[in-house]
Amino acid sequence: MKNSEHNFLGGEGFFMSSKLRQFALASISIAITQVAAAQVTMTNVVPMQIPGQGTEIRVMFNGLPPQPQAYQVENPSRLILDFNQAKQTLSKTNIPVSTNEASSVDIASDDQRARLTVNLKQTGQYTTRVEGNTFILKINNETAQLASPVLAAVQQQPTHGLADIGFQRGGTGEGQVILNLQGANTPVDVKQQGSKVVVRFLGNKIPAHLIRRLNVNDFATPVSTVDAYNDGSNGVITIQASGSYEYMAFQAEDKLTISLKRPEEKKGVVSSQKTTNYVGNKISLDFQDIEVRRVLQLLADFTGINMVAADTVQGNITLRLKDVPWDQALDIILKTKSLDKRRNGSVIWIAPVSELIKAEEDEAKAIAQSVKLAPLQTEYIQLNYAKVADIEKLITQGKNSSNSGTNTNTNAGGGNDPLGDSVGSLLSPRGTVSVDPRTNTLIVNDTAQKIDQIRKMIDLLDVSVKQVMIEARIVRATTDFSKEMGVKWGVATTDRIGNNDIIVGGSDTTLWNIKTPDDDGKVTIERPQNLNVDLGVANAAGKIAFGLINMSDFMLDLELSALQADGFGEVISTPKVLTADKQQAKVASGYKIPYQSAEGGGQNAVSTTEFIDATLSLDVTPSITPDGKVQMKLNITSDTPGAPTPTGQLTINKNAIETNVLVDNGETVVLGGIFEQETRSVQTKVPFLGDLPAVGRLFRRDSKSDSKRELLIFVTPRIVNDSQSRNH
């Protein structure tokens, strides 16, 4: 033990070596810090469809984006971008894309690069540009025109293949399979299949001297074996992994590297072994049966931090640590001897775990006792924007069940826990709160510490909220067209010369008139009962009539009628309402239509009158997002009185929409619409006669109508700033 102490404290050569080692470690640490600082982080990936142009993928960084290394593979078609000296912090590693050119985007990263893999629906051309901290990838949609030239160019290139297969272990324990290609344009397809990563060389076989199995279990990486063989005209390399893994494939010139590593522990996942990051300077310790207090003294001298050890810290320890951070060495010593530490600034207090727990419990009890004995004071807090009833509920609703929900308990705790009813509450067990709605004032009687907590909460919540002007535009357009053509004609005659039994007329009345002439032998015919064909247009816009009387006993009349009507109507309703953020608002205007209903029967029937709303209403609850957009829960109705029923009761024409949308500030969005078109063609005719050519026109009536109705609803939200008028 003495020799060990001498080597640690007294040996000059060892001391100088230790100083040099500390200097080297500090230099390396600074270099690593500078490299880490030079890295940029991928913060977001936003895909979008540009009409008529293709797909645009925006990759956002917290600094200037690095120029990526890009290459494209086929079967399946994928575009891979490697951003060197970049990392990603996205929670989602797969982002779906609903465009014609791409289906999804995969994000992965390791210590050296961040990878963006775009799964294409078909091979196409792409362009890139940088706008500030945003890297923009644009994939063209003219793949059909570009496919032939690209394919021809590929066919003109010489055939490439595999030159060599290598393997190495990375600095973080990953397994790297290195494939040396004969050309940078060698077609390669990399896929993950369960516990394997399969690499296919499309149209190129692996040379015979490279067909073998590599057993790499001794390297202690996720890779166990690498098999190379030929499958038909394609070369195949199968990388077998052991256990769970993550893989990346990246190509630089003619070198393709497939890296497999163990997956990192996800945030929020409880691990059986808690990982702690140690950042202290590294130290080497080699002692046998040395006092724990002596080792703590050596660590205090090495770090320059004050360490206070309790009297109960006793015992000896044997340890051999080489190039271990001093804070990790301290934790190892403490866990070995059932000790723990508490740090306050540059002072570390070390004591047994049970002693520390008891000391913290005593401190908590002392604080609780001081709260019970602290003097009470009264504070009057007038609120500006919030309601005192809402703030009172927030102050009192956190009290535990021992107070039974009241705020006037003056019991100092009795036999309860020393912490009392103050657990989870802004009020102490002796505190009370009252409200004055008239002046919007909160009256708090409690200790100074609790009043300060309540004031902090009020300063945070009693603030003005933004307001939103919601404007809706409801457009109802109608177009009507109708066209009718008809004919009326009649003939009446009788043979007064030789045969009084033959009479021709259009109706019984006409025949009777013809049969019974007046004293002078003349016949008076009543109209319109003298019609043989009555197919005229009702409410005709124009009529033309012909009459011919050849003799006293014969009459022919003809009437043509026609109607054509065109109509166009447009109704625009614009309800608007101003409301605060996340507050429901409603505006309505319209009619109340009464209707009667009866209960019972006979003489015991009781008639009641009820009312139904036929209104134009806008019901909205806006919510302003942190990026300045407006989320709206909408319920819009536009009801109007309709045509009466055969019983005389009115009907209601209903138009309504209920939805939840996200809209930019000041942007107009079309929520929905209804389009109706009704076309009718009616023909009324005399059987057989109406089908005759030319002459059949005298025996039929034609009617055509075309009606169109369209409903569109537009909504525009505007965030009202303090400088804008509230009546905008």
pLDDT in tens, 424-459: 568 888 888 999 999 999 999 988 888 888 888 888
Specify the range with the lowest mean pLDDT, choosing from 62-66, 519-523, 626-630: 519-523
148-161 pLDDT, tens digit per residue, is 343 333 344 445 68
Is the preceding omega at residue 76 within 30 degrees of 0, hence cis? yes
183-236 pLDDT, tens digit per residue, is 877 888 888 888 889 998 888 888 888 888 888 887 888 898 999 999 888 899
Secondary structure class of 230 (helix, strand, coil): strand
Q: What's the average model confidence in pLDDT over 582-605?
A: 78
Rounded Cα–Cα distance for residues 564 and 690 (Å) = 22
CA 595 to each of CA 69, 467, 615, 640, 643: distance values in angstroms, whole numbers, following the listed order:
75, 40, 16, 15, 14
pLDDT at 685: 79
Q: What's the average model confidence in pLDDT over 97-101?
A: 81
Confirm if 117 and 105 have CB atoms less than 8 A apart. Answer: yes
Specify the range with the lowest mean pLDDT, choosing from 102-111, 390-399, 435-444, 458-467: 390-399
CA 220 to each of CA 169, 176, 215, 597, 610: distance values in angstroms, whole numbers, following the listed order:
8, 12, 11, 86, 83
Residue located via tokens 């000296």: 85
Q: Mean of the per-residue pLDDT values for the chain?
A: 76
pLDDT at 441: 92
Residue located via tokens 């779906």: 96
pLDDT at 297: 87
In terms of Cα–Cα distance, which of 118, 254, 109, 258 is closest to 197? 258
Rounded Cα–Cα distance for residues 399 and 386 (Å) = 22
**Residue 621 confidence (pLDDT) above 60:** yes
pLDDT at 408: 41
Specify the range with the lowest mean pLDDT, choosing from 71-75, 345-349, 361-365: 71-75
Residue located via tokens 């605060």: 580
Per-residue confidence band for 531, with pLDDT thresholds at 50, 70 and 90:
low
pLDDT at 532: 65
**Residue 628 confidence (pLDDT) above 50:** yes
- Which DSSP state fits 666? T
Amino acid sitting at position 274: K
Reported pTM: 0.41
CA 37 to each of CA 33, 213, 276, 360, 413: distance values in angstroms, whole numbers, following the listed order:
6, 42, 21, 40, 54
Q: What's the average model confidence in pLDDT over 600-613?
A: 75
pLDDT at 142: 54
Confirm if 514 and 523 have CB atoms less than 8 A apart. Answer: yes
Two structure tokens written together for 605:
């029937």
Q: What percent of the chain has pLDDT over 90?
A: 3
Confirm if 352 and 358 have CB atoms less than 8 A apart. Answer: no
Two structure tokens written together for 132:
């500030």
Comparing 497 with 720, the larger pLDDT belongs to 720
Amino acid sitting at position 196: K
pLDDT at 286: 78
Q: What's the average model confidence in pLDDT over 577-590?
A: 86
653-662 pLDDT, tens digit per residue, is 888 888 898 9
CA atoms within 13 A on the CB side of 529: 11
pLDDT at 428: 82
pLDDT at 82: 85
Please enumerate in sequence order all residues whose Cβ is within 8 A of that of 548, keeping only pairs 6 or more positions apart, or say none. Answer: 555, 556, 557
How many CB atoms are closer than 10 A to CB 501?
7
pLDDT at 123: 67
Per-residue confidence band for 116, with pLDDT thresholds at 50, 70 and 90:
confident
**Residue 723 confidence (pLDDT) above 60:** no
Q: What's the average model confidence in pLDDT over 455-466?
A: 87
CA atoms within 13 A on the CB side of 586: 9
Whether the CA torsion 10, 16, 21, 22 is positive or negative: it is positive
CA atoms within 13 A on the CB side of 338: 8
**Residue 663 confidence (pLDDT) above 60:** yes
